């Protein structure tokens, strides 16, 4: 029997599920259910989902081995692209709803506010990965080079964690939790096969 992971239906279901957070935000926004500061709520929710999808993407490789489910690879590109998708939305809320497209202010923020600086770094590192995510690019670059390039996800997540750590005022539990999950996923890569 072919693995259910190969089913196109399951893939479609994962795709749909990945859109639930943004749909949810939309519904809550429409019902005026995002609290006293909806813009902050949206920015933060999208930042959270960027991080969660990045970690899910990173979890695929160790999960394939540990769960003996090599077919999980079929989901990695999609999850990575969803991380980028949420990252773009997160960035848009900042550019639009926080800075109102004021380039000077944005530049000043990137230069002055270290949590923005590393957030931007984290995002910029995701861009080449999204661009080269197609099969065409893998062929053009060659598997080795492509894999090498895509290791940029590691610093991207690391900068994302630092971004979160630097933006909280004193309660570091959530960024530390994300950091611990990241460290765990990295450690699993080092474990001998």
* Closer residue to ligand HEM in complex, CB, 15/166: 166
139-162 burial: b if 16+ Cβ within 10 Å, else e: eeeeeeebeeebeebeebbbbbbb
Question: Tokens 């989902």 — which residue?
Answer: 49
Tokens of 56: 């899910």
Residue among 14, 15, 28, 40 that touches other proteins (CB under 8 A): 40
Name residues contacting other proteins, limited to 83-112 (CB under 8 A): 98, 100, 105, 108-109, 112
Q: Is the dihedral of CA 92, 93, 97, 98 positive or negative?
A: negative
Minimum Å gap between C-beta 58 and ligand HEM is 11
Instruction: Confirm if 137 and 146 have CB atoms less than 8 A apart.
Output: yes
User: What are φ and ψ of residue 185, in 5° steps?
Assistant: -65, -35
Q: Of ligand HEM, other proteins, none, which one sits near residue 87, judging by CB under 5 to 8 A according to partner kind?
A: ligand HEM
**Long-range contacts at 134-141 (CB < 8 A, ≥ 24 apart):** none
Q: Of other proteins, ligand HEM, none, which one sits near residue 54, judging by CB under 5 to 8 A according to partner kind?
A: ligand HEM
Q: Is 35 in the site for other proteins (CB under 8 A)?
A: yes
Name residues contacting ligand HEM, limited to 107-146 (CB under 6 A): 116, 119-120, 122-123
Half-sphere exposure of 33 (CA within 13 A, CB side): 7
**Pairwise CA distance, residues 110 & 77, whole Å:** 29
* Closer residue to other proteins in complex, CB, 7/37: 37
* Closer residue to other proteins in complex, CB, 82/159: 159
Which residue ranges make up the site for other proteins (CB under 8 A)? 35-37, 39-40, 98, 100, 105, 108-109, 112-115, 167, 169-173
Which residue ranges make up the site for ligand HEM (CB under 6 A)? 40, 43-44, 47-48, 50-51, 54, 87, 90-91, 94, 98, 116, 119-120, 122-123, 160, 163-164, 167
């Amino acid at each position: 029997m072919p693995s259910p992971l190969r089913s196109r239906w399951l893939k479609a279901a994962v795709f749909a599920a990945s859109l639930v957070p943004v749909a949810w935000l939309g519904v809550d926004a429409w019902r005026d259910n995002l609290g006293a500061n909806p813009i902050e709520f949206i920015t933060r929710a999208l930042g959270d989902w960027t991080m969660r999808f990045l970690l899910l993407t990173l979890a695929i490789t160790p999960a394939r081995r540990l769960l003996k489910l090599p077919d999980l690879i079929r989901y990695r590109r999609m999850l990575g692209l969803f991380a980028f998708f949420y990252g773009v939305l997160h960035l848009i809320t900042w550019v639009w709803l926080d800075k109102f497209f004021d380039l000077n202010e944005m530049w000043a923020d990137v230069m002055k506010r270290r949590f923005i600086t590393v957030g931007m770094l984290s995002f910029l590192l995701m861009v080449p990965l999204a661009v080269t995510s197609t099969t065409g690019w893998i062929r053009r670059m060659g598997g080795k080079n492509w894999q090498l390039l895509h290791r940029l996800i590691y610093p991207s997540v690391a900068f994302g964690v630092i971004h979160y750590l630097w933006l909280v005022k004193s309660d570091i539990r959530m960024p530390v939790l994300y950091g611990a999950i990241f460290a765990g996923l990295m450690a699993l890569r080092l474990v001998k096969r």
